[in-house]
Amino acid sequence: MSVGARIGRFIAVVIVFVVIGPPVGALALVLLVESLGHYGNPDIEGFDRHWVTLLDLVLAVPVSYWYGTMPAAAAALVIGIRQAFFGRATWPMALATGFIVALAVLARSGQRPVAAMAEGRAFPESAIVMLACLVATMVCWGLVRGWYVAAPRRSLEHSSLEPAP
Query: What HEC string does 60-94 produce?
Result: HHHHHHHHHHHHHHHHHHHHHHHHHHHCCCCHHHH
Query: What's the CA gap between 127 and 111, in Å, rounded?
Result: 11
Predicted pLDDT at 54? 74
Would you say the pTM of this structure is higher than 0.85?
no
What mean pLDDT do residues 27-56 have? Answer: 68
Q: Tell the burial category of 125 from Cβ atoms under 10 Å away from its Cβ (0-12, 13-18, 19+).
A: middle
Model pLDDT for residues 58-93, shown as the tens digit of each residue: 888 889 999 999 999 999 999 999 999 998 999 999
Q: Check whether 55 has a pLDDT greater than 80.
A: no
Q: Tell the burial category of 89 from Cβ atoms under 10 Å away from its Cβ (0-12, 13-18, 19+).
A: buried
Contact partners, residue 143, CB within 8 Å, separation at least 6: 16, 20
By the 8 A CB rule, do 17 and 73 touch? yes
| Higher pLDDT among residues 107 and 155, named by residue | 107
Predicted pLDDT at 40? 52
What mean pLDDT do residues 95-108 have? Answer: 92
Predicted pLDDT at 142? 95
Query: What's the CA gap between 106 and 89, in Å, rounded?
Result: 24
Alpha-carbon 98 to chain mean position: 5
In angstroms and rounded to an integer, the radius of gyration of the C-alpha atoms of the chain is: 20
Model pLDDT for residues 109-149, shown as the tens digit of each residue: 887 766 666 676 656 678 888 999 999 999 999 999 988 87
